[in-house]
């Protein structure tokens, strides 16, 4: 029989260990079938030499926006997934987004399937954005969704066209309790933001920088505390997406200390970028629009530092890109916020691109060097194995272990890349016309990416060597709790009190 492929001469990093040099990966029928020493070769075995570099699992980016109606100028599945594999990500979970006027989610999910099928370089799944969770959807269609492998939803506590009130959030959480889907939440206080936005506009403060002024940390803080309370009341695990501030993060940490199943995600922009980036330049007063995202970039380097602490100490379960692609130069993109000479930050599409730069940015700080901020294992947990667990892909994606899909990233031996890599838009593979990380230096970059044993990215020999037919839809199982547990009592309630109404 023998292996189809053996990856040799590298240092394998799993979610729990950095394995000794010499340990090899044997791949058969697209799966990792052995991790061990001196694997037997046959004449049909292809040997991949990792040249002494690290080997990590293919990245699982569980928060990307591809081909979404609200960002029509950026990435579709083809360009977005191409960018993913060039940055070492082999699985993405994108969104199928329900319109508030829709009383069923089935056509919307079909629409997003059509946008992705046979158009993806990497494997993909969908979360469902619920903006109108009718009783019928919650009672019958969510069951169907779970059967079809869509086992997570995202809820918004802000944005007029998407937000749910607390009563609706509670309805969804109660359905999640029964059906077992995973609930992701965008936590910002909508009314605080509206008040400030209206008053800023009256005062003529409408340049991109005021986006950050309009969404202060206290708005994230309040909504985070509120959603944790709603989740605690109903005893349901949640994941709070794209967290940006220490005050809000402290609620998560405190809840986790009480063993509540409260998970959190942060993204590269909240580790590396500050609100000063929203200020225009001499040449282009509107350029800050490129960095408009929500929650916004924060003001102080201490804010970044706090997010790094959450990365290192386990508060964050997931490090995603929140790749939200809108072109800067297209009229339907970021320029929606520029009418003639008049800037209007509230009309700028939210979000920054980053699916390709996510892994290299974090990997630069992983390891045992003096300037490292997290271990290599923690890097794997945050970028691959924990998002896979959270979203029902454990055992298939996100780790280097027997039985898993052979999704593998081989990094350069640092001796072969002494100068590192400078991030430049001209070198990236997304469909967006800029990167907010332009000019930043990273230490390393995926040299080779394999998707289910097939080489799809070879940085030195052709770049993208995969195909849009390579990516498959992932029917995900139900997500697992990674932090805490259900079944805890609510502070101040009698033991078992919930049973009267649950």
**Binding flags for ligand DUC, 277-306, as an x/- string (CB under 6 A):** ----------------xx------------
Question: What is the rounded (10 degree) CA torsion for 423, 425, 430, 436?
Answer: 70
Q: Does 324 bind ligand DUC (CB under 6 A)?
A: yes
Number of residues engaging ligand DUC in binding (CB under 6 A): 9
405 neighbors 452 (Cβ within 8 angstroms): yes
Q: How far is the CB of 6 from ligand DUC (least distance, A)?
A: 40
Residues 339-398 close enough to bind ligand DUC by CB under 6 A: 350-351
Q: Does 74 bind ligand DUC (CB under 6 A)?
A: no
Residue 234 binding target from Zn ion, ligand DUC, none, CB below 5 to 8 Å by type: none
Q: Does 131 bind ligand DUC (CB under 6 A)?
A: no
Q: How far is the CB of 112 from Zn ion (least distance, A)?
A: 15
Q: Does 186 bind ligand DUC (CB under 6 A)?
A: yes
Beta carbon nearer to ligand DUC, 176 or 241:
241
Beta carbon nearer to Zn ion, 171 or 322:
322
Question: What is the rounded (10 degree) CA torsion for 188, 250, 318, 322?
Answer: 30
Residue 350 binding target from Zn ion, ligand DUC, none, CB below 5 to 8 Å by type: ligand DUC
Q: Indicate the helix (H) or strand (E) that contains 78.
A: helix 77-86
Beta carbon nearer to Zn ion, 186 or 373:
186
Beta carbon nearer to ligand DUC, 109 or 267:
267
Phi (first) and psi of residue 255, to 5 degrees: -65, -40
Q: Does 268 bind ligand DUC (CB under 6 A)?
A: no
H-helix segments, 67-189: 77-86, 106-116, 135-136, 142-147, 166-179
Residue 335 binding target from Zn ion, ligand DUC, none, CB below 5 to 8 Å by type: none
Distance CA 296, CA 212 (A): 5
Distance CA 366, CA 56 (A): 12
Which residue's CB atom is positioned nearest to Zn ion?
Answer: 186
Distance CA 150, CA 135 (A): 18
Beta carbon nearer to ligand DUC, 123 or 322:
322
Q: Does 322 bind ligand DUC (CB under 6 A)?
A: yes
Q: Look at residues 125, 131, 155, 175 and name the one whose alpha carbon lies nearest to residue 239.
A: 155
Residues 234-253 close enough to bind ligand DUC by CB under 6 A: 241-242
Residue 298: exposure state from Cβ atoms within 10 A (0-12, 13-18, ≥19)? buried
Token pair of 7 as six digits: 């990856």
Q: Does 215 bind ligand DUC (CB under 6 A)?
A: no
Distance CA 471, CA 40 (A): 30
Q: Indicate the helix (H) or strand (E) that contains 198.
A: helix 190-202
Q: Does 163 bind ligand DUC (CB under 6 A)?
A: no
Q: Is the peptide bond before 222 cis (omega within 30 degrees of 0)?
A: no
Q: Which residues bind Zn ion (CB under 5 A)?
A: 186, 322
Binding stretches for ligand DUC (CB under 6 A): 186, 241-242, 293-294, 322, 324, 350-351
């Amino acid at each position: 029989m023998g292996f189809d492929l053996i990856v040799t001469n590298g240092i394998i990093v799993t979610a729990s260990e950095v394995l000794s040099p010499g340990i090899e990966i044997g791949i058969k029928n697209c799966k990792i079938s052995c991790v061990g020493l001196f694997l037997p070769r046959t004449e049909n075995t292809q040997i991949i030499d990792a040249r002494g570099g690290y080997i990590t699992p293919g990245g699982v980016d569980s928060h990307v926006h591809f081909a979404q109606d609200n960002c029509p100028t950026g990435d579709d599945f083809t360009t977005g997934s191409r960018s993913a594999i060039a940055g070492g990500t082999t699985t993405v979970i994108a969104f199928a987004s329900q319109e508030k006027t829709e009383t069923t989610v089935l056509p919307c999910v079909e629409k997003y399937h059509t946008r992705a099928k046979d158009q993806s370089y990497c494997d993909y799944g969908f979360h469902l954005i619920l903006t109108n969770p009718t009783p019928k959807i919650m009672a019958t269609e969510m069951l169907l969704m779970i059967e079809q492998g869509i086992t997570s939803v995202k809820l918004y506590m802000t944005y007029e066209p998407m937000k749910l009130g607390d009563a609706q959030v509670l309805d969804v959480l109660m359905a999640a309790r029964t059906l077992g889907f995973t609930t992701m939440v965008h936590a910002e206080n909508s009314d605080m933001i509206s008040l400030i936005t209206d008053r800023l506009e009256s005062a003529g403060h409408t340049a991109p920088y005021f986006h950050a002024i309009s969404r202060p940390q206290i708005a994230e803080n309040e909504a985070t505390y509120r959603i944790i309370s709603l989740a605690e009341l109903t005893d349901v695990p949640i994941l709070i997406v794209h967290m940006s501030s220490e005050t809000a993060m402290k609620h998560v940490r405190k809840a986790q200390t009480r063993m509540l199943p409260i998970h959190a995600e942060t993204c590269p922009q909240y580790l590396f970028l500050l609100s000063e980036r929203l200020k225009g330049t001499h040449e282009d007063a509107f350029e800050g629009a490129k960095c408009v995202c929500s929650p916004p970039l924060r003001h102080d380097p201490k804010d970044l530092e706090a997010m790094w602490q959450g990365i290192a100490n386990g508060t964050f379960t997931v490090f995603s890109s929140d790749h939200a692609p809108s072109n800067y130069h297209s009229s339907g993109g970021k320029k929606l916020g520029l009418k003639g000479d008049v800037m209007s930050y509230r009309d700028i599409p939210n979000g920054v691109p980053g699916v390709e730069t996510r892994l290299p940015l974090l990997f630069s700080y992983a390891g045992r060097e003096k300037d490292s901020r997290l271990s290599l294992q923690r890097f794997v947990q945050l970028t691959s194995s924990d998002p896979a667990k959270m979203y029902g892909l454990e055992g298939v994606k996100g780790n280097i272990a027997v039985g898993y899909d052979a999704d593998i990233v081989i990094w350069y031996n640092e001796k072969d890349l002494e100068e590192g890599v400078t991030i430049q838009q001209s070198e990236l593979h997304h469909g967006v016309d800029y990167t907010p990380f332009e000019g930043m230096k990273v230490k390393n970059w995926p040299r080779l990416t394999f998707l289910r044993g097939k080489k799809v990215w070879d940085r030195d020999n052709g770049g993208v060597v995969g195909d849009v037919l390579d990516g498959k839809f992932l029917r995900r199982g139900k997500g697992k709790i990674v932090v805490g547990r259900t079944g805890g009592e609510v502070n101040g309630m009698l033991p078992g009190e919930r049973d009267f109404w649950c």
